[in-house]
Amino acid sequence: MRLFVAVTPPPEAVAELSSATEAVRAAHPRLRWTRPDQWHLTLAFLGTVGDEARAGLVDRLARAAALHPPMRLALTGAGRFGDRVLWTRVTGDVAALRGLAAAARVAATRVGIAVEERPYRPHLTLARGRDGADLRPVVDALAGFAGCTWTATQLHLVRSHLGAGPDRTSRYETLNSWPLTGS
């Protein structure tokens, strides 16, 4: 199954971001907007993982969560990866988030999962562009967004069901969650 490792913002941060993006979502209906109930921060994308590797991964992620502390994060402003991905920036204890992302990658690598080498860029994806979309005006429109600070308290292993959501978006299913209990 297709898996990734993530942390998720709490309902109040989701509600705040949802209302802050409402007007811009309505103004740019051609973009493929992600759904607030599916918003997450991907720490490691694992691709297709077999059952055996998954069992080992679950053990290792549980240990990683036990070694990492809860972290204070906020969502601020916007940016883009070219014309493909519109995102909001993650600020706050990003060093701790990077540490957790690195640990998730190590956990995956140890059980034989080939994780992409791309450098980790903390973000929450808001929309994906269709061909030739110009995301710059949308980034500008969201530049002033400054979300509340929240605490990420859990690490999640999530399954992605490609094209199983409304309008052929992906649907995400949380398989395992572990509290961050390190200090």
Q: Residue 170 or 182: which CB sits closer to ligand 2AM?
A: 170
- The binder of ligand 2AM chosen from 5, 42, 54, 108 (CB under 6 A): 42
Q: What is the Cα–Cα distance from 76 to 1, expressed in whole angstroms?
A: 32
Report if residue 8 touches ligand 2AM, rule: CB under 6 A. no
Angle at CA of residue 163, ends 157 and 164, nearest 5°: 70
CB of 134: closest distance to ligand 2AM in angstroms? Answer: 19
Contact (CB, 8 A) for 118 and 101: no
Report if residue 1 touches ligand 2AM, rule: CB under 6 A. no
CB of 183: closest distance to ligand 2AM in angstroms? Answer: 28
CB of 58: closest distance to ligand 2AM in angstroms? Answer: 18
Catalytic sites, residue numbers = 40, 123
- The binder of ligand 2AM chosen from 1, 32, 35, 45 (CB under 6 A): 45
Report if residue 88 touches ligand 2AM, rule: CB under 6 A. no
- As a whole number of Å, the CA-based R_g of the chain is 16
Give the strand pairing for 123-128 and 71-81: unpaired
Q: What is the Cα–Cα distance from 95 to 162, expressed in whole angstroms?
A: 31
Instruction: Indicate the DSSP class of residue 34.
Output: P
CB of 23: closest distance to ligand 2AM in angstroms? Answer: 22
Q: Residue 8 or 42: which CB sits closer to ligand 2AM?
A: 42
Report if residue 4 touches ligand 2AM, rule: CB under 6 A. yes
Q: What is the Cα–Cα distance from 130 to 8, expressed in whole angstroms?
A: 26
Report if residue 160 touches ligand 2AM, rule: CB under 6 A. yes
Q: What is the Cα–Cα distance from 84 to 81, expressed in whole angstroms?
A: 6
Q: Residue 3 or 24: which CB sits closer to ligand 2AM?
A: 3
Instruction: Indicate the DSSP class of residue 122.
Output: -
Burial class (CB in 10 A: 0-12, 13-18, 19+), 136: exposed
Report if residue 85 touches ligand 2AM, rule: CB under 6 A. yes
Residues that bind ligand 2AM in the complex, under the rule CB under 6 A: 4, 42, 45, 85, 125, 160, 170
